[in-house]
Structure 1
Amino acid sequence: MDEPAPVPRDDRAATLRGLVREHAGLAAFADRDRAWRACVDVVTRTLGDVAWIAELDPDVPDGGAVLRHLHGDRTTTLHALHIPPGHGLTGKVFDLARAEWVDDYFAAARITHTFDTHIADEGIRRLLAVPVVADGRTLGVLGVGVRTDGAFGSVAVGHATTVADEVARAVEVADRARAARDAAVHAERSRLAAELHDSVGALLFSIGSGMAGLAESAGADPVLRARLDQLRSQAAEASTALRDSMRTLRASPAALELAVALRADCTAFTERTGTPAELVMLDDDLTLAPTRRDIAVTAVREALHNVEKHAGAHGVVVSVGRRRTPERLTVAVTDDGVGITPGRPHGIGLSTTAEAVARVGGRLTVAGDPDGGTTWRIELPC
Structure 2
Amino acid sequence: MTMRAHPLVGLDEHYADLLAALDRGEALRRALALLAEGSEVAWTASPDADGVLTLDQVTGDWTGVLRALQVPPNTGLTGKVFQTGRAEWVDDYFGSQEITHDFDRHMATEKVRRVLAVPLLRDGKRLGVMAIAPRQNGTFGDREIEHASAIAAQAALAVSVAERARLSREIAVHEERRRMAADLHDSVGALLFAIGSGMADLAEATQADPELQARLDRLRRQAVDATTALRESLRTLRSSPAALALGVALRADCAAFADRTGLPAELVVLDEEPPELAPSRSDVLLTAVREALLNVEKHAHAGAVTVSVRRSDPWLTIAVHDDGVGLGPDHTPGLGLTSTAEALARLGGSLRVVSDPDGGTIWRARLPC
TM-score range with shorter-chain normalisation? 0.5 to 0.7
- CA deviation map 1:132-151 (0-9, x unaligned): 11011221110112222233
CA contact under 8 A between 2:20 and 2:26: conserved in structure 1? no
**Alignment-derived partner of residue 349 in structure 2:** none
The alpha-carbon distance between structure 1 residues 255 and 162, as it changes in their structure 2 partners (threshold 3 A), is: closer
**Alignment-derived partner of residue 22 in structure 2:** 30
**Alignment-derived partner of residue 73 in structure 2:** 85
**Alignment-derived partner of residue 209 in structure 1:** 197
Instruction: Give the Cα separation in 2 of the matches to 1:27 and 1:186.
Output: 22
The alpha-carbon distance between structure 1 residues 288 and 37, as it changes in their structure 2 partners (threshold 3 A), is: farther
- CA deviation map 1:118-162 (0-9, x unaligned): 211222122110111101122111011222223333222211211
The alpha-carbon distance between structure 1 residues 255 and 120, as it changes in their structure 2 partners (threshold 3 A), is: same
Structure 1 residue 110, shift from structure 2 partner = 2.0
**Alignment-derived partner of residue 34 in structure 2:** 42
State which drifts further: 181-190 or 138-147. Answer: 181-190
Q: TM (normalized to structure 2)?
A: 0.56
The alpha-carbon distance between structure 1 residues 146 and 172, as it changes in their structure 2 partners (threshold 3 A), is: same
**Alignment-derived partner of residue 57 in structure 1:** 48
Structure 2 residue corresponding to 1:73, chosen from 61, 66, 70: 61
Structure 1 residue corresponding to 2:90, chosen from 87, 97, 102: 102
**Alignment-derived partner of residue 174 in structure 1:** 162
- CA deviation map 1:153-209 (0-9, x unaligned): 322221121111111111111111122222222222112212222332122122112
1:189 aligned to 2:181? no
**Alignment-derived partner of residue 158 in structure 1:** 146
Instruction: Give the Cα separation in 2 of the matches to 1:54 and 1:34.
Output: 14
Write out aligned runs for 1:108-257 (5 A): 108-252=96-240
The alpha-carbon distance between structure 1 residues 68 and 252, as it changes in their structure 2 partners (threshold 3 A), is: same
Q: TM (normalized to structure 1)?
A: 0.54
Structure 1 residue 27, shift from structure 2 partner = 9.8
Letter of the 2:29 partner, please give it.
R
Report the secondary structure of 2:116's partner residue. strand
CA contact under 8 A between 2:86 and 2:119: conserved in structure 1? yes
Structure 1 residue 288, shift from structure 2 partner = 12
Structure 1 residue 107, shift from structure 2 partner = 1.9
Letter of the 1:51 partner, please give it.
A
The alpha-carbon distance between structure 1 residues 249 and 221, as it changes in their structure 2 partners (threshold 3 A), is: same
The alpha-carbon distance between structure 1 residues 28 and 80, as it changes in their structure 2 partners (threshold 3 A), is: closer
Q: What is the count of residue pairs matched by the alignment?
A: 231
CA contact under 8 A between 1:49 and 1:145: conserved in structure 2? yes
Structure 1 residue 254, shift from structure 2 partner = 7.8
Letter of the 1:156 partner, please give it.
E
Letter of the 1:99 partner, please give it.
A
